Structure 1
Amino acid sequence: MRLQFILSEIGIGLRRNLSMAVSVILVTFVSLTFVGAAGLLQLQIGEMKDDWYDQVEVTIYLCPQDSDVPTCAGGQISDEQTEALREELDSPAMADYVEAAYYESQEEAYDAFQERFADEWWAQGLTPDQMQASFRVALVDPSQYQVVADQFTGRQGVEDVRDPRAVVEPLILVMNRLSLVAAGIAGIMLLAAVLLITTTIRLSAMSRRRETGIMRLVGASNLFIQLPFMLEGAIAATIGAVMAVAGLWFGMRYLVEDWLAQSVQFIPYVGTDEVWMIAPVLVAVAIALAAISSVVTLSRYTKV
Structure 2
Amino acid sequence: MRAQFVLSEIWIGLRRNLTMTIAVIITVAISLALFGAGMLINQQVSEMRGFWNDRLSITVYLCTDTSQSNHCVENGPATDEDRAAIQADLEGMTQVSEVTYVTQAEAWKDFQERFSNQDALVEAAQEGDIPDNFRVKLADPEQYDAVQSAVENRAGVDSISNDQDVLDQFFALLDGLKWAALTVALVQLAAAALLIGNTIRLSAYSRRRETGIMRLVGASNFYIQLPFLLEGAISGLIGGIFAGGFIFATKFFLLDKIQTWFRFDVELSMGAVFYVIGMSIILGVLLCTIASFLTLRRYLRV
Fold match by TM threshold 0.5 = yes
C-alpha distance 201-58 of structure 1, shift in aligned 2 (>3 A):
same
Match of 1:144 in 2: 143
Q: Name the CA distance, whole Å, in 2 between partners of 1:17 and 1:127.
A: 72
What whole-Å deviation, never above 9, does each CA across 1:37-91 have from its counterpart, x for those lacking one?
1111111211221222221111111111133434322211011111111111122
CA offset at residue 118 of structure 1? Answer: 6.4
State whether structure 2 residue 252 is matched by structure 1 residue 253.
yes
C-alpha distance 215-124 of structure 1, shift in aligned 2 (>3 A):
closer
> Which residue identity does 2:286 align to in structure 1?
A
Q: Name the CA distance, whole Å, in 1 between partners of 2:203 and 2:241.
A: 23
Match of 2:282 in 1: 284
Q: Name the CA distance, whole Å, in 1 between partners of 2:120 and 2:277.
A: 50
8 Å contact from structure 1 (residues 66, 75) kept in 2: no
1:99 partner SS: strand
CA offset at residue 275 of structure 1? Answer: 2.2
C-alpha distance 211-124 of structure 1, shift in aligned 2 (>3 A):
closer
Most deviating of 215-224 and 105-114: 105-114
CA offset at residue 103 of structure 1? Answer: 0.7
Match of 2:91 in 1: 90
1:64 partner SS: coil
Q: Name the CA distance, whole Å, in 2 between partners of 1:127 and 1:247.
A: 47
Most deviating of 124-133 and 11-20: 124-133
8 Å contact from structure 2 (residues 40, 251) kept in 1: no
CA offset at residue 281 of structure 1? Answer: 0.8
What whole-Å deviation, never above 9, does each CA across 1:114-139 have from its counterpart, x for those lacking one?
44456847746866544311110011
Most deviating of 63-72 and 118-127: 118-127
Q: Name the CA distance, whole Å, in 1 between partners of 2:61 and 2:249.
A: 46
Q: Name the CA distance, whole Å, in 1 between partners of 2:262 and 2:70.
A: 39
Q: Name the CA distance, whole Å, in 2 between partners of 1:225 and 1:215.
A: 7
What whole-Å deviation, never above 9, does each CA across 1:200-251 have from its counterpart, x for those lacking one?
1101111111111111111111110101000001101110000000122134
Match of 2:3 in 1: 3
C-alpha distance 121-216 of structure 1, shift in aligned 2 (>3 A):
closer
Most deviating of 73-82 and 40-49: 40-49
For structure 1, list consecutive stretches of 5 or more residues without a partner in the other structure: none
Cα-Cα RMSD: 2.2
Most deviating of 292-301 and 111-120: 111-120
Match of 2:38 in 1: 38
Q: Which of 250, 266, 269 is the matching residue for 1:268?
A: 266
For structure 2, list consecutive stretches of 5 or more residues without a partner in the other structure: none
1:37 partner SS: helix
Most deviating of 63-72 and 77-86: 63-72
Please, what TM-score do these two structures have when normalized by structure 1?
0.91
8 Å contact from structure 1 (residues 38, 182) kept in 2: yes
Same amino acid, percent of matched pairs = 39
Q: Name the CA distance, whole Å, in 2 between partners of 1:121 and 1:5.
A: 74
> Which residue identity does 2:109 align to in structure 1?
D
C-alpha distance 105-206 of structure 1, shift in aligned 2 (>3 A):
same
> Which residue identity does 2:65 align to in structure 1?
Q
Q: Name the CA distance, whole Å, in 2 between partners of 1:289 and 1:118.
A: 52
Q: Name the CA distance, whole Å, in 2 between partners of 1:17 and 1:125.
A: 67
Match of 1:303 in 2: 301
What whole-Å deviation, never above 9, does each CA across 1:266-297 have from its counterpart, x for those lacking one?
46343654321211110121122113212321
Most deviating of 168-177 and 191-200: 168-177
Q: How does 1:144-223 map to 2 (within 5 A)?
A: 144-223=143-222
- What number of residue pairs does the alignment pair up? 300
> Which residue identity does 2:290 align to in structure 1?
I
